[in-house]
Structure 1
Amino acid sequence: MISSLRGTVLAAVGTTVVIEVGGVGLSLHVTPQFALSLRVGAEASVRTALIVREDDLSLFGFAEADELAAFDLLRGVTGVGPKSAMGVLAAMSPVEIAQAVSLEDDAAFRKVSGIGPKTAKLIVLSLTGKLDAMATTRTIARARPSTVSDSVTIALVGLGWPERVALQATEDALAQANETEREAVPALLRLALANLGPQLAGSST
């Protein structure tokens, strides 16, 4: 199994890059974004997944470990092959994938070319619970530079509300808050709690 490689970039066009390792040029399938980030003649370190089929050996390359992890999880979903998994990663970051799964937002996956409604629902169902850590702290931290909303969501989860409800309540509070309130955890939390209304913590599904 080839899990990573380091070498000189010989070519980077579209979704294919060629990296020379020990005098051998290895062709990798990558996302367009990753290909654009590489410079011919420069050294690159790539995390890889080797897909072995009866008549083909294909290498898929990733800039970050979480992209490789998301790729492996997506491939485990019925109807999602390596190319479709790469299509999802070309359209969505691992953090966005985690957030969509957490919010049960299969529409986000339907926007990806080659992913139909049935497969989109299967992705959400299959990945539920497998990206929880990324969907909470890492999702919020990367999606928004402020740690205030992060703290509010964590507080709501701590009070017993389901994660997806807490995330939505925080988003709603952010949309309503003025600049001062967005920078203060107590103020934003009050708005989020007001949006949740009289429903009991932990009673929503």
Structure 2
Amino acid sequence: MIEFLRGKVTYIETEFIVIDVNNTGYLVYCGNPYQFQEWMDETITVYTYQHVREDAIKLFGFLSREERRLFEKLLQVSGIGPKGALAILASGKPATVVQAIEEEDEKFLVRFPGVGKKTARQIILDLKGKLPEFIAPLFQTEEENDTLSFSRESVNLDEAVEALKALGYADKEINKVMPELKKEDMTIDAYIKKALQLMLRR
């Protein structure tokens, strides 16, 4: 088992990064590879999970051990494979996912790619009450709970931004309307519609 890789991120693709460790390039699959963009060519630590099958050996990478632990828990759920678990963690907010599981918030869980109502219910059945290491931070101060609640809303906004980029809009255009979008609590589609309206006015 490879605990972590420490090296420089030299290449980023839609599903993976390449990290150079002592002149050896490791291909590491990630939920959101572009979160590593700000550390391009800098030395960082990526925590890894080695997934072994008969036909492939793959490394999955995470910014924290907490993310990796939740990934491992999700793999224990019937119907969830590495790709599905990565999609759930792509927002980079493990505590928010755990909060949704503890509150049996199926509506939140089905927002993730590949997670339907049946899978969301299975996640709750298999993991509710079984994530003690993640639950404690959820019940601290009121201010911290407000932050977690807000982070759920930001998942929708993050996905809307990715959709706008897929439509061909540049970061510069999207960043101009972000202050207005952050004032709202909307669905993904509503965020996209609002952003398009704002950009057309400019």
Calculate the TM-score normalised by the size of structure 1. Answer: 0.65
Deviation at 1:38, TM superposition (A): 4.2
Deviation at 1:129, TM superposition (A): 1.4
Amino acid paired to 1:139: L
Amino acid paired to 1:81: G
- Structure 2 residue aligned with 1:139: 138
- Alpha-carbon distance in structure 2 between the residues aligned to 1:55 and 1:68: 23
Q: How much is the aligned-residue C-alpha RMSD, in angstroms? A: 2.3
Q: How many residues align?
A: 146
- Alpha-carbon distance in structure 2 between the residues aligned to 1:54 and 1:138: 38
CA deviation string 1:150-201 (max 9, x = no partner): xxxxxxxxxxxxxxxxxxxxxxxxxxxxxxxxxxxxxxxxxxxxxxxxxxxx
Distance 1:146 1:58, change over 3 A: closer
Calculate the TM-score normalised by the size of structure 2. Answer: 0.65
Structure 1 gaps, min length 5: 148-205
Distance 1:56 1:111, change over 3 A: same
Structure 2 gaps, min length 5: 147-202
Deviation at 1:52, TM superposition (A): 0.6
CA deviation string 1:62-118 (max 9, x = no partner): 001110000000001000000000000014621011101111112211111111111
Q: 1:74–1:123: 8 Å Cα contact kept in structure 2?
A: yes
- Structure 1 residue aligned with 2:157: none
Structure 1 residue ranges (4+ consecutive) displaced by more than 3 angstroms after TM superposition: 33-38, 140-147
- Alpha-carbon distance in structure 2 between the residues aligned to 1:59 and 1:111: 25
Distance 1:66 1:60, change over 3 A: same
Amino acid paired to 1:22: N
- Structure 2 residue aligned with 1:160: none
Distance 1:83 1:110, change over 3 A: same
Q: 3-state SS of the aligned residue for 1:119?
A: helix
Alignment of 1:1-205 (within 5 A): 1-32=1-32, 35-91=35-91, 93-135=93-135, 137-141=136-140, 144-145=143-144
Distance 1:10 1:142, change over 3 A: farther
